[in-house]
């Protein structure tokens, strides 16, 4: 699948015990660019004395390629990597990639945000191939990705959330925007059910704006979630682990825009991250425990970032779960690595632990299925 070089040649002296790490990035979703940036920073941080790294890019059209530019930059040293990887290169098939990943010392790290990557599709491919991979399995990935279904499961487990409605495209009628306003008030947030990074999310302040926001959300998904707007603090917790997950210190996002949208997250750097969040010890412990519980309820494994709203004033409802991201961003301004660094785990050590968790999970699953 790749030509020998110092980074990839297993015959190089002293490097035979390294793990083969296949990094998948790019993808077909609207979060393609975020994934390419995430992958660049992961490749730069991964320890070349521990890993033989093969970057596999997935184009917006679904084409899989050995990312030639990233591979050459890796051979020149991590500092040669650009801040944004190009997924183009020598075409390979998904079958070739998973076949090459069949060894016992190989781990796939999917860094594919959004649909066709974070939603259980790639995870299912890797499960069928028996390949260890970083992050949640098929059920945890698909359930967390679909905001409408995640809300149902969380509600059934008594997890507090904003009031909301989930609607499928064929259920939308001309009178629906007014009905939603009557039920949820104004303003409301309108979101595609299966998307992340605030792509396709709108804050609607009038009935007509609700109508337009639904149309925008439907351009990304056939399911739409409409939520009451919460006046509260935005608290995020990173969770790491398999059978015994643990939570990072909580962080707080102070948006630079009216809400924490795509540009605020990745382009403008206008938001402010306060780590650790200014919470009482009791409130911090409460949200950490709640994040771990949500991680387990949604069958997550490996990693996830759990996002909350915090209504802490008189009459407030406390911590309300907003959403769960099973492949959170790893860009320099992303909260997931920042929260773990503040908790005493370096970026490189975080990658090491995620790889170890992937191998542990695969070993456990083999014991359960080898009958």
pLDDT of residue 241: 98
197 carries an active-site annotation: yes
Of residues 159, 127, 126, 125, the one with CA closest to residue 144? 159
Give every CB contact of residue 86 below 8 A, 6+ residues apart in sequence.
Answer: 36, 57, 67, 69, 70
Catalytic residue among 133, 264, 323, 336: 323
Burial of 126 (0-12, 13-18, 19+ CB in 10 A): buried
Catalytic residue among 329, 334, 336, 361: 329
307 carries an active-site annotation: yes
Catalytic residue among 136, 144, 197, 198: 197
Residue 368 confidence (pLDDT) above 80 = no
SS3 88: coil
220 carries an active-site annotation: no
3-state helix, strand, coil in the chain (%, to 5): 35, 20, 40
Question: Are 296 and 233 a contacting pair, CB within 8 Å?
Answer: no
Domains of the chain, CATH where assigned: 19-133 (3.40.50.20), 144-160+231-346 (3.30.470.20), 164-228 (3.30.1490.20)
Q: Say which residue, 371 or 8, is predicted with more confidence.
A: 371
Catalytic residue among 31, 118, 252, 311: 31
pLDDT of residue 5: 45
Residue 291 CA to residue 293 CA, distance in Å, equals 5
What are the beta bridge partners of residue 341? Answer: none
pLDDT of residue 262: 47
31 carries an active-site annotation: yes
Catalytic residue among 118, 264, 307, 311: 307
pLDDT classification of 7: cutoffs 50, 70, 90: very low
pLDDT classification of 313: cutoffs 50, 70, 90: confident
242 carries an active-site annotation: no
pLDDT in tens, 206-224: 999 999 999 999 999 999 9
Catalytic residue among 136, 248, 322, 325: 325
Residue 105 CA to residue 362 CA, distance in Å, equals 11
329 carries an active-site annotation: yes
Q: Which residue has the tokens 């210190």?
A: 249
Contacts 24+ apart (CB under 8 A), 148-151: 148/193, 148/223, 148/225, 149/193, 150/298, 150/323, 150/324, 151/225
pLDDT of residue 114: 86
């Amino acid at each position: 699948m790749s030509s020998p070089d110092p980074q990839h040649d297993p015959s190089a002296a002293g490097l035979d015990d390294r793990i083969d790490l296949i990094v998948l990035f790019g993808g077909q979703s609207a979060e393609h660019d975020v994934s390419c940036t995430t992958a660049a920073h992961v490749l730069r941080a991964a320890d070349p004395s521990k890993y033989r790294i093969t970057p596999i890019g997935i184009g917006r059209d679904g084409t899989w390629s050995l990312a030639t530019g990233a591979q050459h930059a890796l051979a020149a040293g991590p500092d040669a990597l650009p801040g944004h990887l190009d997924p183009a290169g020598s075409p390979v098939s998904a079958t070739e990639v998973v076949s090459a990943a069949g060894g016992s010392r190989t781990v796939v790290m999917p860094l594919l945000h959004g649909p066709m990557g974070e939603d259980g599709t790639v995870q299912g491919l890797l499960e069928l191939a028996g390949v260890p991979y970083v992050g949640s399995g098929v059920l945890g990935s698909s359930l967390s990705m679909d905001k409408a279904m995640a809300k149902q499961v969380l509600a059934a487990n008594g997890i507090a959330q904003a009031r909301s409605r989930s609607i499928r495209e064929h259920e939308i009628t001309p009178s629906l925007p007014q009905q939603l306003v009557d039920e949820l008030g104004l303003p409301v947030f309108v979101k595609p059910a299966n998307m992340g990074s605030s792509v396709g999310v709108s804050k609607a302040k009038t009935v007509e704006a609700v109508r337009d926001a639904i149309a925008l959300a439907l351009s990304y998904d056939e399911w739409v979630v409409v939520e009451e707007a919460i006046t509260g603090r935005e608290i995020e917790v990173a969770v790491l682990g398999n059978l015994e997950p643990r939570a990072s210190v909580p962080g707080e996002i102070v948006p630079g825009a009216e809400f924490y949208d795509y540009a605020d997250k990745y382009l403008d750097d206008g938001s402010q991250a306060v780590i650790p969040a200014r919470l009482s010890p009791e409130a911090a412990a409460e949200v950490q425990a709640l994040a771990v519980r949500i991680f387990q309820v949604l069958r997550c494994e490996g990693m996830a970032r759990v996002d909350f709203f915090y209504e802490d004033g008189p009459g407030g409802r406390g911590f309300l779960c907003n959403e769960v991201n099973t492949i959170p961003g790893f860009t320099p301004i992303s909260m997931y690595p920042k929260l773990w660094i503040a908790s005493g785990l370096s970026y490189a050590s975080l990658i090491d632990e995620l790889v170890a968790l992937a191998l542990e999970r695969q070993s456990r699953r083999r014991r359960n299925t080898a009958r």
